[in-house]
Amino acid sequence: MQTHNLGYPRIGSDRELKKACEKYWTGKASVEELMITSKDIRHQNWITQKDLGIDWIPSNDFSYYDQVLDMSLMVGAIPKRYNQVILDKSNTELDLYFAMARGYQKEGIDIKAMEMTKWFDTNYHYIVPEFENNQKFSLFSTKVIDEYLEAKKAGIKTKPVIVGPVSYLLLGKEKEENFNKLDLIKDILPVYLEILHKLKKEGVEWVQFDEPFLALDLDAKAKETYQYAYKEIHKQFPYINKILTTYFDGLKDNLHLAFSLPVQALHVDLARCPEQLDEILGNIPEKLLLSLGIVDGRNIWKNDFDKSLKLIHKAISKIGEDRIMIAPSCSLLHSPVDLELETDTEALSTEIKNWLAFAKQKIDEVVTLKRLAENENTPELQKKLQENKNAATSRKTSTLIHNEKVKEKIRNIEKVEDKRHSVFSQRKKKQAKSLQLPLFTTTTIGSFPQTSEVRSWRSKLKKRLITPLEYEELIKKEIEKAIRFQEKIGIDVLVHGEFERNDMVEYFGEQLEGVAFSKNGWVQSYGSRCVKPPIIYGDVFRPNSMTVKWSSYAQSLTKKHVKGMLTGPVTILQWSFVRDDQPRKETCFQIALAIREEVLDLERAGIKVIQIDEPAIREGLPLRKKDWKIYLEWAIKAFRIASCGVKDQTQIHTHMCYSEFNDIIQNIADMDADVITIECSKSDMKLLNIFSEFKYPNDIGPGVYDIHSPRIPSKKEMVSLLQKAIKSIPVEQLWINPDCGLKTRGWEETEKALIEMVSAAIELREQC
C-alpha cells in the first residue's frame, strides 16, 4: 500500500503567510521578503510530511490567495479589465494576481476585484473564474512546474496538484449570455496538456487532478465533457500516472462515469460517504488503484482506527494491498496545522485535546493506518492503537458532553414558537411607526475596522497586562468613536462596531457551554483571512447574556437606533468543528435556543432592531439536490426558533453573503426576516432578479460596494447600482448598505466609502 496527501495547510503554523501578505499589501515588505516566507512554508510542509512517512507529498497545494485563482493565472484566464495592470511594467505577476483577488486602485486606474464565493459546502472561499464565448487560453504562469522543481531540488518527491479541467470550468461563471462554459473545454485543454508536457520533461511520476464535481449532480453535457477531457489527456500522456480526486460526498450515480475515465487511480471520500465503498469494490475496473479517503480532512476528531481498519481490510480482501492508497478524505487546507502547538490547558483541556487531531496528526494517522493494515506489529504501533481506543472510549463516556436539561429542551422543540405574531405587511406598519426611518435607509452590516491597536487590547487582557475594567473602558471609547462617526455622516441605523469581538462565530462560541477553543487552531477562510473555528464537543447552552451589555451601552450614546448584532445558529454550526456523535440538526437546534434567549434579552433591554446573521445558509446545502429538502427544513426552522419570539415592533434583520438564491428563494422568504441584507455589488445587482421574479415581500438591502477589496467606490458607482436595484425592487423595500462587515478594512477607506454611500442615498431620496 501507498500513502498520499491531497493538500496541506498553507498559512504556516503561526499564520506566517497572512502576516507576510498583509505587510506586502501595505508596502511594509518587499516581494522578495514575501517569497522567502512562502518558500519557508512550502519547505516546512514538505519536510513535515516526509518525516511522518507519506509516500506521495503534494506540491502546488500552496497558494498566496486561492488555488482556483492560481489556476486562472496558469491558464491565462485573466479578465480583459486587468490588461492595464499587465501593461504597467512596474507590476509583477504577483501584483496582477492580487489585483484579480482584491481589486486595483493606483494612479487613476480603478478596477474591481473578481467575484468570490464558497468552495462547495465549506467556509473556504475561492475566486470565481470569468469566461467569455470563444475565450482563448494560454500558459501564463508556470507556478505548478516551478513548485514541483523547487521540491525536487530539495530532495522531496511530490505529486503536483491541479484543479481538473472540467471542475475548473464548472467553478467559473459565464460573463456573456447564450453560451455554455463547458464549450471551452477544447480551448483550455491544450494548456493543461502543455503543463503536463513540461512536468513530464522534469520527471514527474504522479499528477493529482482535483475533480470534486464528480460528487455532485451532473447533466449529460458535463459527463460528456469529462469523458472527452480525460481521453485527450490520456491519449497525449498515457505514461503519467493520474490520480483523480473526488471529495465532500460519494460518487453515487457518477460512479460508472468515474470508472470510465482513463486514469491510474481514483480517490473517494469515505469520511463523508463510507457507504459507497461496497458499490465501488463491486464495480472497480481491473488495475485501477483505489485511494481511500479514510481520515476526515474537514473535522478535527481523532480517527477511529477500528472503524477505518474494517474499511481498509474490506478493500484489501477484494482488490489486494497493491491497489490500495490511504489518504485524508480531502485537502487538509480545512484543518488547523498542528495540535502540538496547543499547550494552554486553560484554553483547551487535556481531556478534550486528547480527542482531537489537526493536519500534522492526520498525516500521522494516515501512515499509522497503513502500517496497522499491513499487520506491522511493533510496541510503538500497538501503543498508538491502544491510545486511539482509549481516546474513543473517553469521548463516549465523558461527563463533559451531556446535559440532560438541554436534551429535554430538544425533545420538546416542537413546542417552541417559530412564527412571528403577525404577517410582514402588518409588522412593517408597526415598525415604521416605531422606528421612523427614511426612504433608502442606510446601515452597515455590523463590524467596523479592527485596528492592530484594538486587537492588542484583547491580547493584553488575556496576558493580564491590563485589567478587565481597563479593557472595557478602551472598548467603550472605540464604540463611542464609531457611534459619533456614524451620526456625523448621517447613517440611519447604527451599529456598535463589534470591537469586543475576535470573530463573529468565535465570540459567541466562547460564551456558550459545550464549546471549546484552541489557541492556534487557525484555518484559512479566504486570502489572508484566517479563523479559529469553535469546537462543539457537547450539548450547547447559554449560561449568561452575551451581547446585551455592549449593545445597551451603544444605544445609550445616541437617539438613533443601534442594531443588536448576533450570529445565527446555522452559521455558528457551519463555521465550527461540529461533534459527530449526534445529528447536526440537534446541535443546530441547541444553538438556536441559545440565540433565541439572547434575542429576547436584547428586546427587553430596549433594542428595537436586531440582526441575526446567517451567511452560511446557502453554504450548508448538501451537494446533492435530493438532500436539500431535509436540510432546509431544519435550517430555516432553526433561524425561526432564534428570531420569532419578539414583538411585531421589533425589527429582525439577517445578512447573507454569496447570495445566489435562485433555487432556494422560497426558503429565504420562509425565514421571514423583516430585512435581509445581501452581497450584491460584484454581480452588478443581477442577484436581485430572482427577488423581483419571486416578488419577495420583505425588505432588502443589496450591498452597494465590495468590502473584500480595499478599493473605494464612488457615489456615482453606488447610485448607478441602486438605480439598477430600483428596476427590480420597489423603493419602499430597499435599504442601502455595504456587501458585508467592515472588520478587515482600514478606517481611512471605510470612512471614505461610507460617506459616498450616504451621499448616494441622499441623491436617490431627492430623485424619488
H or E element, residue 185: helix 185-201
Q: Which residues, in sequence order, are CB contacts of 556 under 8 Å at separation 6+?
A: none
Report DSSP letters for 304-338, one per residue.
-HHHHHHHHHHHHHHH-GGGEEEEESS-GGGS-S-
Residues of each annotated binding site for Zn(2+): 655, 657, 670, 679, 740
The rounded distance, in Å, linking the Cα atoms of 638 and 597 is 13
Strands, DSSP E only, in 250-302? 265-269, 289-295
Segment (H or E) for 524: strand 523-526
Q: Quick check: is 43 catalytic?
A: no
Using the structure block, give the residue that is written with the C-alpha cell 457615489. Answer: 715
Q: Closest Cα partner for 739 from 720, 716, 721?
A: 721
Rg (CA), the chain: 26
Are 719 and 760 in contact, with CB atoms under 8 Å apart? Answer: yes
Exposed, middle or buried, 386 (CB in 10 Å: 0-12/13-18/19+)? exposed
328: Cβ contacts below 8 Å, ≥ 6 apart = 5, 6, 293, 294, 295, 296, 297, 362, 363, 366
Which residue in 646, 659, 645 sits closest to 614, CA to CA?
659
CA distance 608 to 603: 6
Answer whether 678's CB lies under 8 Å from 713's CB. Answer: no
Judge contact between 555 and 607, C-beta under 8 A.
yes
Packed helices 628-643 and 584-604: angle between N→C axes, nearest 10 degrees? 20
Annotated binding site for L-methionine: 445-447, 498, 613
Cell of 264: 491510474
734 in helix, strand or coil? strand
Non-local CB neighbours of 467 within 8 Å, separated by 6+ positions: none
The Cα 432–Cα 649 span in angstroms is 9
Q: What nine digits make up the cell of 85?
A: 495592470
Q: Among positive and negative, which fits the CA dihedral 355, 360, 366, 371?
A: negative
- In this structure, the number of other CB atoms found within 10 A of the CB of residue 203 comes to 10
Annotated binding site: 15-18, 118, 123, 445-447, 498, 529-530, 575, 613, 619, 655, 657, 670, 679, 740
Q: Which residues are annotated as a binding site for L-homocysteine?
A: 445-447, 498, 613
In whole angstroms, what separates CA 458 from the centre of its chain? 25
Q: Which residues are annotated as a binding site for 5-methyltetrahydropteroyltri-L-glutamate?
A: 15-18, 118, 123, 529-530, 575, 619
* Dihedrals phi, psi of 762, to nearest 5 degrees: -65, -45
For strand 289-295 and strand 324-328, is the pairing parallel, antiparallel, or unpaired?
A: parallel
Cell of 189: 485543454
125, 267, 496, 708: the active-site residue: 708
Active site residues per annotation: 708
